[in-house]
A and B are shown apart, each in its own frame.
Chain A
Amino acid sequence: MADITSSVAVPAPTRRRIRWSLIGDHAILIAGSLFMLLPLLVLLQTASTPDLETMKNGPGLYFGDQLDDNFRKAMFEASGFSGANTGLSMLKNSLILGLGFAFGKIVIGMMAAYAIVYFRLRFATLAFWLIFTTLLLPLEVRILPSYEITQKLGLLNTYTGLIVPLIASATATFFFRQFFRSVPEELVEAARIDGAGPVKFFIDILVPLSQTMIAAMFIIMFVYGWNQYLWPTMITTEEDMYTLVRGIKQIVQVLEGNEIPQYGRANVLAIISVIPPVAVVIFFQSWFVKGLTESDK
């Protein structure tokens, strides 16, 4: 009893200390935010100033007026030999990769998860293990044989070759399996009593129920697909197939080769490659966080 009264009585003298610790908390958070933002600010600053100035003085503390000029160069002028890899064409390819990958992964994953969770299947255990072993080995470890096989199939420099091998892992399937298992069983029973078949149940009940999950998965997968680097670097050798992220490799080489490195233009391209995935993550923050943190259960 005595303990409780004494601890209730404390707030008055500690109030000052709490305020100070709050200021400390904000200071750390502001420092952390600046740490994350600094590279982007340097990128923005050099993208908006003439290249000669950047080369002479480095990034300054002001915002220049060359952004639209650099943007035009980055978007519509090609940096390669064939003249095909303008920012616009790379943006198109990045969108195809990001959207195609997210779409393919979710459709295939939902189908497989539905089969595993809702059907009596003779080879269920075998199928389950075959599918979930793929979670263990990332593409990077089997990159060379994957390349050889894709080449044998004649898929170099095609969208199929770019997207489909990346889909060969079961992250989405696993995610939807977990979710389907949490859906109340009474729903299936009710649907069966009402005479709904498996296809009707899937389309009319399960898909609408999974909307939030689908949205969350879509965001994560879009960002993942958009940001792919190693696979696109190996599989696309023709410049009109480059994605923005893959194009970074070439941007770096352009910086090396020129008398006056084209920082402005290169940095605008880097910014363009960052905006879509970052915007998606920021605008759909709550869905994205939910999808990400729930994938570990």
Chain B
Amino acid sequence: MTTLRESFGDCRIIVTCGPGGIGKTTSAAALATAIATNEPLRVLVLTVDPARRLADALGVPGIGNEPLDVELAGAGTLSVAMLDPQASWDALIRRQAADEETAERILQNVLYQNITRRFVQSHDYIAMERLHELVGRGQWDLIVVDTPPTRNALDFLDAPTRMADFFSSRFLKWIIAPARSSVTSLAAKPLTYMADKILGNQFLTDITEFFLLLSSLYDGFVERAREVESLLAEESTKFLIVSTPEPIPTREATFFNQELQKRSLRIGGWLVNRMLPAELNLTATATGVAVLAREEMAQVASLIGVDVATMVAARDRMVAITEEYTIVADRERAQLAALAAGDTPVFGAFTAEGEIDTLQGVTSFGQRLLSAERVLKFD
């Protein structure tokens, strides 16, 4: 039997990905915490959108763009950082710009501010760029990365390529050509004419200046984008798909699984979170209900100090709830078995309500994830 930890053996980067709202951030933090507890590794968890509760549980005042150390009594160390897209973009521009003045002009450009602040497509790229930067610092043995919850969950994977394409696109060259030389590119004419008609020439001037400034960053950007891409393709980088047993998250995760496979990226496992516990199964429930039916409710009622009618109502309600939960639990296991028929190792996990409120809880959830055993294939 392979455990989830074994499946991610010598990884230096674990990328958790999947649809939104399924406990991806919590899983990433819990895995990192448990690994840092058990093993003499310097672990960093890079989250995108941590809950206040998680920050509290980790005992940090709030999670910022710069890594913070979590106080952990374990074999290794744990740091936590959050992606602040705006700060990361600004830092990137400062790093890549040829000089201070260019950097400032870009940072002050109204288009730049709008793109990075308001329009979220750029967040996908910056998440991966930030990973690259943190890897480059060489301070961690393992980085667990939580990815932005995008509907098209693959945006962040394609972002480096898109960014490189963007900078090398002929259109970008066309649009900045008139500004670069006094001879207006003939090819750009119909486009600039159209853009002018639609957007007005002031806008065109703004956009041209912006792209002209950006183009001075071109070589650096394309190179970085390629490096980010190869980082994701490295042997020591593995993806952990996270979903729940519900139909829509499962469908989205299935799509994700296929796309990762298509790109020949390494998938260490597929974690199905929020499973109902194993003791909820048809046989056990039937046995339990039968045992309960034989009991004298008057006796139980006097034990807990309620009247018999209340006790009978409570028993009936408890049985009804158990039966509902058991049907759902059964359906979940069928779902898990169906997923396990594929090539990706599948792991199931149960999360207790309110479990992640403390560091101890986060750690024990992480331990459970690490020791989760691969769901066997039944042919």
User: Do A and B bind?
Assistant: no
List B residues at the A interface (Cβ < 8 Å).
none
